[in-house]
Amino acid sequence: MDLKQLKEQGLAEIIESESLEDLKKVRDLYLSKKGLVPQLMTKMRDLSPEQRKDFGQEVNALKQRLLDESQKRFEALTQEEMERKLASEKIDLTLPGVAIDLGQLHPLTQIEREIIDVFREMGYSIIEGDEVELDKYNFERANIPEDHPARQMQDTFVIDIEYLLRSHTTAIQTRALEAFAPQLPIKVLCPGKVYRKDDDDATHSHQFMQIEGLVVGHGVTMADLKGTLELLARQVIGQDSKVRLRTSYFQFTEPSVEVDISCHLCQGEGCSLCKQTGWIEILGAG
């Protein structure tokens, strides 16, 4: 192949190379140490000294031309590749974003906080205690000895001979009494989870919330209890709420009462929610 043919063919192959990989192959073929262009130099031997000079210059010029062209092609291919990449990774800024729901507090947490606020304003300390409790604080000190039928009634989750999952927040109260007495007055509110073996359905659960309040002081009467519960009902249920006490029995208190509030749905007229009585039982006290 003579110099002119080599030039035409080399330039054509450079321009036709479709990828950087192809281009490298073409460059190696023509311009590497043992490539087609350096091989031309072997023809120098057959030439006269004058011809050698011209031929040498022509070969160098060819080499430079091919280098320049392959550099141009390299830049063009690099640019093409980048554009292809940018097109394939294009981000559509007009797409709507992913909405993040903020959510809200669980209804139990909401009502628990509302009740806590009412009692905190009345000067109560809030104590949560531990869910794993000693039998001593859960039963014995709540006036429920080992053979007491209330222990079966409450179907407690027992961990071992000493520990259990507390079956009522009274366990927090018995601890509070031990911690604070004989300093009076004691005013504590004990909210928390309690556990009892129960078949879960719409109105029963093996785990539920209780909130208990405890007041110990001189001259504290049932009237204070009723006034406190009336304030609670007005603050949490509504300003028109009424409170009714009915005598009852609990192991922990004497005298004991069941506490009803006027039905907030029918305002005491009687409806299906209050079973036509106009009252809804909300808690036990004493």
The first and second tokens of residue 198, run together, are: 């129960």
274 binds Zn ion (CB under 5 A): yes
| Candidates 140-148, 223-231, 238-246, 263-271; binding stretch for Zn ion (CB under 5 A) | 263-271
Considering only 31, 177, 266, 282, the residue that binds Zn ion (CB under 5 A) is: 266
Looking at the Cβ atoms of 245 and 271, the one nearer to Zn ion is 271
Provide, rounded to whole angstroms, the least separation between the CB of residue 243 and Zn ion: 15
- CA–CA separation, 77 and 61 (whole Å): 24
282 binds Zn ion (CB under 5 A): no
265 binds Zn ion (CB under 5 A): yes
Length of the chain measured in residues: 286
Considering only 271, 282, 284, 286, the residue that binds Zn ion (CB under 5 A) is: 271
Cis preceding linkage at 255, omega within 30: yes
Q: Is 167 helix (H, G, I), strand (E, B) or coil?
A: coil
DSSP structure string for 15-61? HH--SHHHHHHHHHHHHSTTSHHHHHGGGGGGS-HHHHHHHHHHHHH
Contacts of 3 (CB under 8 A, 6+ apart): 40, 55, 58, 59, 62
Provide, rounded to whole angstroms, the least separation between the CB of residue 242 and Zn ion: 12
Looking at the Cβ atoms of 56 and 278, the one nearer to Zn ion is 278
Q: Which residue is nearest to Zn ion (CB)?
A: 263
263 binds Zn ion (CB under 5 A): yes
111 binds Zn ion (CB under 5 A): no
Looking at the Cβ atoms of 15 and 266, the one nearer to Zn ion is 266
Beta bridge partners, 285, equal 257
Looking at the Cβ atoms of 268 and 286, the one nearer to Zn ion is 268
Check: CB of residue 164 under 8 Å from CB of residue 157.
Answer: yes
Looking at the Cβ atoms of 171 and 263, the one nearer to Zn ion is 263
Contacts of 84 (CB under 8 A, 6+ apart): none
Provide, rounded to whole angstroms, the least separation between the CB of residue 233 and Zn ion: 15
Provide, rounded to whole angstroms, the least separation between the CB of residue 278 and Zn ion: 6
| Helices 20-31 and 49-88: angle between axes, nearest 10 degrees | 170
- CA–CA separation, 286 and 263 (whole Å): 22
In terms of C-beta density within 10 A (0-12 exposed, 13-18 middle, 19 or more buried), how is residue 133 classed? buried
Looking at the Cβ atoms of 134 and 266, the one nearer to Zn ion is 266
Provide, rounded to whole angstroms, the least separation between the CB of residue 273 and Zn ion: 5
| Candidates 19-27, 45-53, 149-157, 260-268; binding stretch for Zn ion (CB under 5 A) | 260-268
6 binds Zn ion (CB under 5 A): no
Looking at the Cβ atoms of 139 and 279, the one nearer to Zn ion is 279
Interface with Zn ion by CB under 5 A: which residues? 263, 265-266, 271, 273-274
